[in-house]
Chain A
């Protein structure tokens, strides 16, 4: 996290470590958008998992579903 107060120190430390100063920076708004996009990906993964489990259970016979107690 770099702001105007620690920018010079960051540039110095970074240049000392990497030789050249070239970074990929992210504004706060862009960080929030990135976080929301990752949250959307997580939602999509979880919902797809739920749908797959739904179809797996739906393919089972009702008696089998009741007997094995699998309610996922």
Chain B
């Protein structure tokens, strides 16, 4: 009788140990699966983060480059006005007007035609510097000078875009 109880106890203990081992095994497998899934998610998140960082770095680099380029272009746009002020300081148009009004009128017309063509070219006109001067620059019976309003003959202009002396 005692042996029977002992056998039952041993079987119970062995069954408990077996159940515990099975439970431990299944629980461990479940944890491994969960951790593997979490690891995959973290790897995906890491790749996304790295891609975002690279994109932001590239964007910042591009923005810095474009900003520097814009600053250069904005300063270049100031050049015409600066040259014109410098040129007007160098010239004495009153004296020129008294000495040779016809010549000064021709230079003014040439400078105006040159400026007009440049503005046309800068604002998208295809003909640009090859375009004909505007009608109001054509010679009139009372006008004295228009000899410099043709393309390529505006070298002695008074528009100040050229810094060299006449």
User: What residues of chain A have their CB less than 8 Å away from a CB belonging to chain B?
Assistant: 1-6, 10, 13-14, 17, 28, 31-32, 35-36, 38-40, 42-43, 45-47, 49-51, 54, 57-58, 62-63, 65, 71
Interface presence of B61 (CB below 8 A): yes
**Closest residue of A by beta carbon distance from B140:** A17
Apart from A42-B80, A50-B77, A62-B61, what 9 extra A-B contacts exist at CB < 8 Å?
A: A1-B105, A4-B98, A39-B80, A39-B160, A42-B115, A42-B122, A45-B122, A62-B62, A63-B58
Q: How many residues of B contact A (CB 8 A)?
A: 41
Q: How far is the CB of A32 from chain B (nearest CB, A)?
A: 5
Of the 9-residue stretches B2-10, B19-27, B45-53, B67-75, which lies at the interface with chain A? B67-75
A28:B97 contact, CB within 8 angstroms: yes
Given A17-B141, A50-B77, A62-B59: A31 in contact with B93 (beta carbons within 8 A):
yes
B98:A42 contact, CB within 8 angstroms: no
B101:A28 contact, CB within 8 angstroms: no
- A interface: dominant SS: helix
List of A residues within 8 angstroms of B73 by Cβ: 46-47, 50
User: What residues of chain B have their CB less than 8 Å away from a CB belonging to chain A?
Assistant: 55, 58-59, 61-63, 66-67, 69-70, 73-74, 77-78, 80-81, 84-85, 88, 93-94, 97-98, 101-102, 104-105, 108, 115, 118-119, 122-123, 140-142, 144-145, 158-160
Q: How far is the CB of B107 from chain A (nearest CB, A)?
A: 9
B93:A28 contact, CB within 8 angstroms: yes
A1:B108 contact, CB within 8 angstroms: yes
Max count, chain B CB within 10 A of own CB: residue among A17, A62, A63, A71:
A62
A54:B88 contact, CB within 8 angstroms: no
A3:B142 contact, CB within 8 angstroms: no
Given A17-B142, A31-B93, A38-B115: A49 in contact with B122 (beta carbons within 8 A):
yes
List of B residues within 8 angstroms of A50 by Cβ: 70, 73-74, 77
B142:A62 contact, CB within 8 angstroms: no
Cα distance, A62 to B63, chains bound together (Å): 9
B101:A3 contact, CB within 8 angstroms: yes
**Closest residue of B by beta carbon distance from A56:** B66
